[in-house]
Structure 1
Amino acid sequence: MEPHPPTRARRPRELTEAEKSQAREVSLARIGRLFTAHRGQLVAVVLIIVASSVIAMAAPFLLREVIDQALPERDTTLLVWLVVGMVTVAAVTAALGVAQTWISTKVGQQVMHRLRTDVFAHLQRQSIGFFTRTRTGEVQSRITNDIGGMETVVTSTATSIAANLTTAVATAVAMAALSWRLSLVSLVVLPPAIHLTRKVASMRREITARRQRELADLNVTIEEGLSVSGVRLSKTMGAGAALVDRFTASSRRLIDLEMRSELAGRWRMASMSIIFAAIPAVIYLSAGLPMTAGTLSIGTLVAFTALQAGLFRPLMGLLGVGVSLTASLALFARIFEYLDLPVEVGDPARPVPLPKQRVRGHLRFEGVSYTYPGSDAPAVDDVTLDVPAGTSLALVGETGSGKSTIAALIARLHDPTAGRVTIDGVDLRDVRLTDLADVVGVVSQETYLLHTTVRENLRYAKPDATDAELVAAARAARIHDLISGLPDGYDTVVGSRGHRFSGGEQQRIAIARTLLRDPRILVLDEATSALDTETERAVQRAFDTLAEGRTTITIAHRLSTVRDADQIVVLDHGRAVERGTHTALLDADGAYAALAA
């Protein structure tokens, strides 16, 4: 297999959130594609809307007949039929409205669901680098606040446009049929209304973008201030008051933005409402002028006025939808920005099978270098390692020497900028990420436990694991007796980030979790550096069990934990400067001996 060509990480200039929102124009066609899978349902909604609008147009004509025919001529039979017709029209349009609302809401919620899951799934594919650069609260805000803010637009905009447009067209046709002259008088306000609406929409979009950024900042403050670790830090540092001040200031800015969003352009739209309200008076005046007097019946005038009032409601509705849609483009821009993020570490186009049952675990680094984005100096520089299957390698060195970066490269949290990493001769970039996760197990110093039971934390590694397998893994990790001694046993809730247990207990639960996956290659990344001596001994015995028959890479500050490794490599500024056994390296009296002193 041809080795992968070296790749160099590039970091483009970071844009501010405001620049990103302003620079990214959202295509309405792209928004429309969100509804492609629901074309049939949308067609049904449009047909229902058209039918409802056409049926509703009968009401003014029935009213005209009541005023001009049934009442003056005292025709009771005709009057009854006309009234029945009015009630029937109202009942049918109401029923159609319920059906239309049900279908459109269902479609909207399905689109929302798809957006949420697509964003979450795409972010799961992002590299560790993305999450180190991005605030957790920002990610949460986009999935909850931004997508939640789009709900009204997604669920009702399309149907609102169709309903209002159909109603407006049908009403305009009916008005023209009654009196084309009065129709012209009624429509003179349209050009200024459209102009003002575009102005208001632009204002709303800018304010919406600023509001969502402020909501993200608020989420970050909540995440940092109310997590277990954040509360512990604020209490020990006496920073609680400062956090409250920060939250209060952000919330106050949010109030201001919400007020501006609601009031943006309201005086303009209020002016239009006044003008629209004055139109009936102008119509009555027009009907009473000498040149038009006697040309219109009272019924026609009343029916026309009713239609005119009915016309401006959908027109205002269309203009309001335009404002909401334009404002929501800021939300779509933020969501599409995440959906458009490139996947830095992804699955290969033609993956090479790496079945765990046949993996021996021979690990090699061939001239590997890696430079973090934005850094000038490589974290790992031209490192070559050969770890035969079933043997152990220890990586030692000062902080910042590149040990954890090598561990991340083995788990393919990053891809090398030069060289390649192989397992049994297969480049890791040619292997599916899920297959690699089956082969490589990682236990790090920062153990992460989910806020659920011990049982579910263990099954996170193997969802179909039996209770017997859970107990066997816990026994091997020297944690079964402690768990079974708890009142709820394996159903004990570990608490946020596992704070129900001590550091050593969390570590052994993590070891049991890794044992369930049964990886062929095991990476222990400074997994005992924060533990006391007695706890470290207990965890180390669990590690010894875990490492049996596996290729093991151990990263440690305490040399006592790696002295029995088959080979030890000393790293300095990303380069391998020494390698050998514990005894040989001590005898060489070099960098390793200096670390042991």
Structure 2
Amino acid sequence: MDDQQSSRRSRSGRPDPADRRQLVDHPVSLARIARLFAPHRATLAIVIALIVLSSAVGLAQPFLVRHVIDDALPQQDVRLLVLLVLGMLGVAVATAAIGVVQTWLSTAVGQRVMHRLRSDLFAHLQRQSLGFFTRTRGGDVQSRLVNDIGSMQGVVTSTATSIAANVTVVIGTAIAMVALSWRLALLSLVVLPPAVLLTRQVARMRHTITAQRQRRLADLHVQIEEGLSVSGVLLTKTLGVGSALSARFEDTSADLVDLEIRSRLAGRWRMATMNIIFAAIPAAIYLAAGFPATAGGMTIGTLVAFIALQGTLFRPLMGLLNVGVDITSCMALFSRIFEYADLPVDLPEPVDPVPLPRLGGQVTFEHVGFGYDPDRPVLTDIDLTVPAGSSLALVGTTGSGKSTMAGLVARLHDPTQGRVLVDGVDVRDVAATDLASRVGMVTQETYLMHTSIRQNLLHARPDATQQEIEDACRQAQVHDLIAGLPDGYDTIVGSRGHRFSGGEKQRLAIARTLLRDPAVLVLDEATSALDNETERAIQASLDALARGRTTITIAHRLSTVRNADRIAVLDHGRVVETGTHEELLLRGGHYATLVRGSLAEAA
């Protein structure tokens, strides 16, 4: 991302089309950006003052050189020569010291603003619903948090400071050049425009090639990520497409060879053009100084000083010509950040949260309806009560709404109609941390962080003791496995837990949830990845743990739910039957059909 930003801002003569589109789709005001830096107004004022001071001090150098050549050396005035040389050294030391202080202050401001933006955006995204993350690529979220906010540092340390420095240098240098020789200053004004235009033309050519190289390089990175990640390698080996991926990678790499050569040559052409310009302009000035009409009695010292000043004018002038590009790029960067910061929170925290009773665990669905799309409801008029300490099993065909219904209890979504209550309190009125401490959920998709087993378990309850961790793992039938590992509970689980089998990961997830000892336990296909023997062992533990705990279980294997106190059968988002296993079989309805299908599959 940094390379791309640099490419946009320094190699192109015009704003990047992607930046223009971003600002059209999500405009951002300068006032809003200014508010981010408002707490640092005093520091920024000092930075600007230091930039102006540094530029002004630096302009003294050519004048000191002129006096050395015109006065001190011809007159053999050693005292004056020493003073002038000390002055030149003092200018160098002063500008270097000012530059260090200026960089320190500007970087500190940028880092503090970046920290505040990054922390606020992370917290804001944490409050988004699951729907946001299912429709948004994970790489996009990471790019906004890391790359975009990281590149924002350049707004202070690069863009803003360089604009201020360039303006100061150009104005100061122009005044100094006129003061030394207005005739040569006019000549420079005539020569500089075509030189600048030629350089920009070469820069645009290189930008086009660089943009193509960046796109192919991005393709290469995607192929590496997809082909060499754990999941990618597994998919490649199971599909037997390794040779095809290798050929595709080789083609992309070959394209990069050509683009890299062209990019280097374009860069070399740019450097050659600039070198010619840097040589041609002083040559023209030397030539003009040799003619009486333009020399005007100019001394050698004045000529040398003028050349030195003129040499400092080209780069800041080029920088000022790209101010529009810089500003557009920076505005687009803030636009991308604010786009996420302005996302409405689908699951807002209650303004006045209601505390849940210490004891209990009753779950109630009051005429609950829900739909990701208003025209396509997933749940319709769900009206159920799960008494504290009892168990409810949700069964139905795939897509009937079981997981969605269970997710409403943990407030992964909010119902579009009706209410979900825990101990008589609407879950929307409960603080997220309070609800999470009361409702524990184990889903069919187990996620383990790339850290030790102990840290994965402590993520659920940071203050848990080692004994409590081991007790939870014993209840989940996974302690013996961990104890048998060389590093025990300090074993690193690997990326997304790939070091362990699906069943082992689910047992760790169950242990992680049990460590919190929730009053309400939601098991969404929690034993789906287990073999029959392990499933029976864990189910026995879960049955024991369910005593005194409200348990809502979802399972395709009907053998795991037959002992539930109550079974609710869902069909197309509606509860069509409720009762015990025996009662529902005697009715011969939907549940009986599901059982017959399950027995047929088992046979």
Please indicate the TM-score interval, normalised by the length of the shorter structure: 0.7 to 0.9
TM-score, structure 1 length as denominator?
Answer: 0.85
TM-score, structure 2 length as denominator?
Answer: 0.84
What does the per-residue CA deviation read over 1:152-190, in whole Å, with 9 as the maximum and x for residues that have no partner? 555322222222222222222222332344333333467
Say if 1:137 and 1:217, in contact at 8 Å, map to a contact too. Answer: no
Bigger Cα displacement from structure 2, 80-89 vs 572-581: 80-89
Please tell me the residue identity of whatever aligns with 1:390: G
2:122 aligned residue (117, 120, 123): 120
Q: Which runs of 5+ in 1 are unaligned?
A: 1-15
What does the per-residue CA deviation read over 1:473-495, in whole Å, with 9 as the maximum and x for residues that have no partner? 22332322332233322112222
Give the deviation of 1:217 after TM superposition. 6.0
Please tell me the residue identity of whatever aligns with 2:522: V
Say if 2:566 and 2:578, in contact at 8 Å, map to a contact too. Answer: yes
Report what 1:5 is aligned to: none
1:314 aligned residue (300, 316, 338): 316
What does the per-residue CA deviation read over 1:25-63, in whole Å, with 9 as the maximum and x for residues that have no partner? 455555555444433333332232222222222222212
Say if 2:106 and 2:156, in contact at 8 Å, map to a contact too. Answer: no
CA distance in 1, matches of 2:338, 2:199: 26
CA distance in 2, matches of 1:32, 1:189: 39
Report what 1:61 is aligned to: 63
Give the deviation of 1:120 after TM superposition. 3.5
CA distance in 2, matches of 1:261, 1:378: 54
Report what 1:6 is aligned to: none
Q: How many residues get paired?
A: 579
Report what 1:164 is aligned to: 166
Say if 1:391 and 1:566, in contact at 8 Å, map to a contact too. Answer: yes
Give the deviation of 1:247 after TM superposition. 5.0
Report what 2:11 is aligned to: none
Please tell me the residue identity of whatever aligns with 2:488: G
CA distance in 1, matches of 2:587, 2:472: 40
Say if 2:20 and 2:328, in contact at 8 Å, map to a contact too. Answer: no
Give the deviation of 1:67 after TM superposition. 2.1
Q: Does structure 1 residue 393 correspond to structure 2 residue 392? A: yes
Please tell me the residue identity of whatever aligns with 1:524: L
CA distance in 1, matches of 2:265, 2:398: 55
Report what 1:84 is aligned to: 86
Report what 2:483 is aligned to: 484
What does the per-residue CA deviation read over 1:211-269, in whole Å, with 9 as the maximum and x for residues that have no partner? 88877766655554333333222211113334445555666777888889999999789
Q: Does structure 1 residue 428 correspond to structure 2 residue 427? A: yes
CA distance in 1, matches of 2:255, 2:433: 44
CA distance in 2, matches of 1:219, 1:116: 25
Q: Does structure 1 residue 173 correspond to structure 2 residue 175? A: yes
Bigger Cα displacement from structure 2, 543-552 vs 274-283: 274-283
Say if 1:224 and 1:230, in contact at 8 Å, map to a contact too. Answer: yes
1:240 aligned residue (239, 242, 247): 242
SS in 2 for 1:517: coil
Report the RMSD for the aligned CA atoms in angstroms.
3.7
Say if 1:214 and 1:254, in contact at 8 Å, map to a contact too. Answer: yes
CA distance in 2, matches of 1:383, 1:196: 72
Q: Does structure 1 residue 516 correspond to structure 2 residue 515? A: yes
Give the deviation of 1:391 after TM superposition. 1.7
Report what 2:542 is aligned to: 543
Say if 2:203 and 2:270, in contact at 8 Å, map to a contact too. Answer: no
Bigger Cα displacement from structure 2, 384-393 vs 23-32: 23-32
Report what 2:361 is aligned to: 361
Bigger Cα displacement from structure 2, 513-522 vs 27-36: 27-36
What does the per-residue CA deviation read over 1:554-586, in whole Å, with 9 as the maximum and x for residues that have no partner? 111122211222221110011111111222211
Report what 1:564 is aligned to: 563
Give the deviation of 1:543 after TM superposition. 1.5
CA distance in 2, matches of 1:194, 1:33: 36
Rate the CA distance shift 1:294–1:200 in 2: closer, same or farther, 3 A.
closer
Give the deviation of 1:510 after TM superposition. 1.3
Please tell me the residue identity of whatever aligns with 1:88: G
CA distance in 2, matches of 1:270, 1:36: 44
Report what 1:340 is aligned to: 342
Say if 2:456 and 2:512, in contact at 8 Å, map to a contact too. Answer: yes
SS in 2 for 1:422: strand
Give the deviation of 1:399 after TM superposition. 0.9
CA distance in 2, matches of 1:129, 1:219: 28
Say if 1:369 and 1:419, in contact at 8 Å, map to a contact too. Answer: yes
Rate the CA distance shift 1:521–1:248 in 2: closer, same or farther, 3 A.
farther
Report what 2:14 is aligned to: none
Matches for 1:31-70 after TM superposition, within 5 Å: 31-70=33-72
Matches for 1:107-256 after TM superposition, within 5 Å: 107-147=109-149, 152-188=154-190, 221-245=223-247, 247=249
SS in 2 for 1:571: strand
Say if 1:105 and 1:156, in contact at 8 Å, map to a contact too. Answer: no
Report what 1:11 is aligned to: none
Rate the CA distance shift 1:58–1:192 in 2: closer, same or farther, 3 A.
same
Rate the CA distance shift 1:191–1:371 in 2: closer, same or farther, 3 A.
farther
CA distance in 2, matches of 1:346, 1:202: 48
Rate the CA distance shift 1:162–1:427 in 2: closer, same or farther, 3 A.
same
Task: Give aligned-pair identity as a percent.
Answer: 66
CA distance in 1, matches of 2:429, 2:573: 25
Say if 1:202 and 1:327, in contact at 8 Å, map to a contact too. Answer: no
Give the deviation of 1:23 after TM superposition. 3.3
Report what 1:4 is aligned to: none
Report what 1:351 is aligned to: 352
Bigger Cα displacement from structure 2, 94-103 vs 186-195: 186-195
What does the per-residue CA deviation read over 1:458-516, in whole Å, with 9 as the maximum and x for residues that have no partner? 10101121212212222332322332233322112222222333333322221211112
Give the deviation of 1:367 after TM superposition. 1.9
Say if 2:199 and 2:273, in contact at 8 Å, map to a contact too. Answer: no
Say if 1:445 and 1:528, in contact at 8 Å, map to a contact too. Answer: yes
CA distance in 2, matches of 1:522, 1:236: 36
Q: Which runs of 5+ in 2 are unaligned?
A: 1-17, 597-603
Please tell me the residue identity of whatever aligns with 1:494: V
CA distance in 2, matches of 1:548, 1:446: 25
Say if 2:184 and 2:294, in contact at 8 Å, map to a contact too. Answer: no
Say if 2:506 and 2:529, in contact at 8 Å, map to a contact too. Answer: no
Say if 2:163 and 2:323, in contact at 8 Å, map to a contact too. Answer: yes
Give the deviation of 1:198 after TM superposition. 9.0
1:280 aligned residue (278, 282, 289): 282
Give the deviation of 1:346 after TM superposition. 2.8
Please tell me the residue identity of whatever aligns with 2:132: F
Bigger Cα displacement from structure 2, 453-462 vs 113-122: 113-122
CA distance in 2, matches of 1:390, 1:525: 18
Report what 2:528 is aligned to: 529
Give the deviation of 1:368 after TM superposition. 1.7
SS in 2 for 1:396: strand
